[in-house]
Amino acid sequence: MISPLKLLNKRQRMLILTIVAFAFLMSVVAIGIFLDEGRIATNLENRNYPPSLEHPFGTDWLGRDMFSRTFMGLSLSVGVGLMGAFGSTFIAIILGMMAATMGKMADRIVSWLIDLFLSVPHLVTLILIAFSLGGGFKGIVMGIALTHWPSLARIIRAEVMQIRSAEFVQVSKKMGKSNVWIATKHIFPHVIPQIVVGFMLLFPHAILHEAAVTFLGLGLSPHKPAIGIILSESMKYLSSGMWWLAFFPGLCLLLVVRTFDVIGEKLRILIDPNRAHE
């Protein structure tokens, strides 16, 4: 008997996979939002329990349920990644459009800024910005927004410069249309697919970097159930045999990051006009 999936073409299978991955992410966020905060309250009677049916991810040294802490932390990380990626994408759009539409001087300045930020590792710049802003939610979101835009800005700039030389754009110029009108009506709609894919691919970087900075103590507040804080706190208990404190939060973080990667890659293929026949 032929599998129903084999009756679909490659693009249809990719679309189904993308929807399933997106549904998985939404379920992770929903679980974290709707979990009772009382489950992460201190309960010394239940401390240091290994994984069980009642506590799937075990409990920590204060008796807090690690399943609840992990999913609340993932929801928090997704929220930070959403805001940081949105801010970074907005910066990339503005600078990419400016570089390609506002003359050679603007292009030189934006290209210099892109090269400057790309010459320093994201994580180093992110730590410096987060530290200078006092850390916390605001510091980490601003740090992500101000450090993850260069690669996407370079892609947008290249796309805009290619579209700018198209025949329909040249016709609009000869008809007396302004640069702003051409940018908003002709150029911007053509780069929306690259923006959407770039936005989705910024997510995993933003989430991982937020967890890394929080792990180092320069990100979110220690009072929040962030994944970076959970992993940082669990390090001193691993030698006692409490492996579940780091294993399950770390595994869930990798699954969420990988899911965002899959969605971004599949979207990039789905919107590629050269693969429309598949």
pLDDT in tens, 184-224: 777 888 888 888 888 888 888 888 888 888 888 777 777 77
When comparing pLDDT for 52 and 270, which is higher? 52
The rounded percent of the chain whose pLDDT value lies above 90 is 1
pLDDT, mean of residues 65-91? 87
Provide the β-strand partners of residue 65.
59
Amino acid at 187: I
* 28, two tokens: 């992770």
**Is residue 27 one of the residues assigned to a domain?**
yes
* Alpha helices in the chain, H assignment, sequence order: 10-34, 66-101, 103-118, 122-132, 136-147, 150-164, 167-174, 179-182, 188-215, 227-234, 244-270
**Is residue 225 one of the residues assigned to a domain?**
yes
**Is residue 4 one of the residues assigned to a domain?**
no
**Is residue 175 one of the residues assigned to a domain?**
no
**Is residue 163 one of the residues assigned to a domain?**
no
**Is residue 230 one of the residues assigned to a domain?**
yes
DSSP character at residue 50: P
Residue 63 scores a pLDDT above 50: yes
Asked whether the CA dihedral 9, 15, 16, 17 is positive or negative, the reply is positive
Q: Are 148 and 84 in contact (CB under 8 A)?
A: yes
Largest CA distance in the chain: 78
Integer CA distances (angstroms), 101 to 90, 179, 186, 195, in order? 17, 7, 12, 17
DSSP character at residue 235: G
CA–CA separation, 132 and 204 (whole Å) = 24
Domain count, the chain: 1
**Is residue 1 one of the residues assigned to a domain?**
no
Give me the domain span that covers residue 61. 9-36+57-156+190-275
pLDDT at 108: 87
pLDDT at 276: 47
pLDDT band at 7 (very low <50, low <70, confident <90, very high): low
**Is residue 26 one of the residues assigned to a domain?**
yes
Which CATH number goes with the domain that contains 15? 1.10.3720.10
Which of 131-135, 148-152, 245-249 comes out lowest in average pLDDT? 131-135
CA–CA separation, 85 and 133 (whole Å) = 18
